[in-house]
């Protein structure tokens, strides 16, 4: 079901990973080794984001930050977005964030 994410403008690759960062499935224009690196990065970043969201929620006494549902790392030309146990790599300027996030939500229901 990751293939449906590749149909979106700008998406270069999509990965499904398990807790601990192991690659379950990867599709797109990256090598197998790169897919494994994206899976590990996505898992690590998910855990950091969840921890930071929990801490911020408590310290700022603001509801709505935890549990964190996803993250985005935005680079100069490429970015990555993660939600639960899937992540996508995409070209900046080509992808539409809202469309990508909604498609990721839909994909999660099919895995």
What percent of the chain has a predicted confidence (pLDDT) above 90? 80
SS3 16: strand
Secondary structure letter of residue 86 according to DSSP: E
Q: Write out pLDDT tens, residues 35-48.
A: 999 999 999 999 99
The residues pairing with 61 across neighbouring beta strands, listed in sequence order, are none
Is a pLDDT exceeding 90 seen at residue 62?
no
Q: Write out pLDDT tens, residues 75-91.
A: 999 999 999 999 999 99
Task: Tell me what pLDDT residue 65 has.
Answer: 79
Q: Please indicate, yes or no, whether the overall pTM of this predicted structure exceeds 0.85.
A: yes
């Amino acid at each position: 079901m990751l293939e449906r994410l590749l149909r979106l403008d700008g998406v270069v690759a999509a990965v499904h990973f398990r807790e601990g960062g192991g690659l379950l499935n990867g599709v797109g224009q990256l090598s197998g080794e790169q897919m494994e690196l994206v899976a590990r990065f996505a898992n690590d970043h998910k855990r950091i984001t969840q921890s930071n969201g929990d801490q911020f929620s408590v310290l700022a006494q603001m509801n709505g930050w935890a549990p964190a549902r996803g993250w985005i790392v935005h680079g100069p030309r490429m970015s990555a977005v993660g939600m639960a146990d899937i992540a996508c790599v995409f070209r900046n300027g080509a992808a539409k964030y809202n469309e990508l996030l909604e498609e990721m939500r839909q994909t999660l229901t099919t895995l």
